[in-house]
Amino acid sequence: MPHTLYIVGTPLGNAADWSLRAQQVLAATPVIAAEDTRVTARLLAHCGISGPRLLTYTDAFAPKKAQRQAEVLAALQAGDVALVSDAGMPGIADPGSELVQAAIAAGHRIVPVPGPSAPVTALAASGLPGERFLFLGFLPRQRGERQQLLRQAADEPGALVCFEAPHRLLDCLQDLVAVLGDRRVTLARELTKEHEEIWHGRLGEALARSQTQAPRGEYVIVIEGAPPAPAAESGAWPVGQVREALAILAQEGIDTQTAPRLVARLAGWRKKDVYRLLVADRDAADPQG
């Protein structure tokens, strides 16, 4: 028999941000599927909610994760279930999306109960245009994979939003500068918590700052989107097409002095801008020089 899976947003840090509707839904739902039952139990206790049974819906070990999701789906067959993450909206850069997909496939009703969202909160505080943005989630841990993803997003005109852990922030900022250049950026740390910090500046400044100040807490990074293509009216090539042409010439053995000159003629770019792009990409691919 189909039942309802409630997707319930929880506070990012400040419990006062929890909506009355969210609390009412959780108090009335017999089972709550939680990312970490200890975190959810503390939040429920803060609001005087003690009735629901808590189930963990995820695990780092794949077979155990499948087992736990099966337990939640079995509970959903018997009655309504509420899905929560440790903070923010479930399913946004967390494994809750897999449970939602499974519930949809099983024919259950999905009801969102909106709550705080770290990407949107940081974007709103960034001051950057919010008409469109690209959410990248947690960036890959490996440098090569991270740089590849950033290159794919480099031409996006909307803001780029991503999550990063404090111990990887320095490496992340190095790659952001190498691939994207010195764009405007906002670093939002510990959103809505006691030690919340929202810093505005440029990527180069953020990199220098992180080299002298130890990063602490979880970060949301909001980066300015790509500038308009130079002389777009004259048919100048976008960045991606210039990169592709440089790669082809490199494969043909054309040296790094000649290639920018040839590409600049075809692309409608200045030779020095093509050369800067070539050097930046080369340095990003080989950060040790």
Taken in order 93, 99, 103, 109, the sign of the CA dihedral is negative
The enclosing H or E element of 57 equals none
Predicted pLDDT of residue 257: 86
191: closest CA among 168, 217, 214, 159?
217
Predicted pLDDT of residue 37: 95
Contact 201/161 with Cβ under 8 angstroms? Answer: no
CA angle at 47 for the pair 41 and 52, rounded to the nearest 5°: 50
CA distance 83 to 91: 9
Question: Cα 218 to chain center, whole Å?
Answer: 12
The enclosing H or E element of 118 equals helix 118-126
Predicted pLDDT of residue 232: 46
In CATH terms, 4-116 corresponds, of 3.20.20.100, 3.30.70.360, 3.40.1010.10, 3.40.50.300, to 3.40.1010.10
Tens-digit pLDDT string for the chain (289 aa): 789 999 999 999 999 999 999 999 999 999 999 999 999 999 999 999 998 999 999 988 888 989 999 999 999 999 999 999 999 999 998 889 999 999 999 999 999 999 999 999 999 999 999 899 999 999 999 999 999 999 999 989 999 999 999 999 999 999 999 899 899 999 999 999 999 999 999 999 999 999 998 888 899 999 999 877 554 445 788 888 899 999 999 998 898 888 998 998 888 888 888 888 888 777 666 655 5
Predicted pLDDT of residue 142: 94
Predicted pLDDT of residue 285: 62
How is domain 119-223 classified at the CATH fold level?
3.30.950
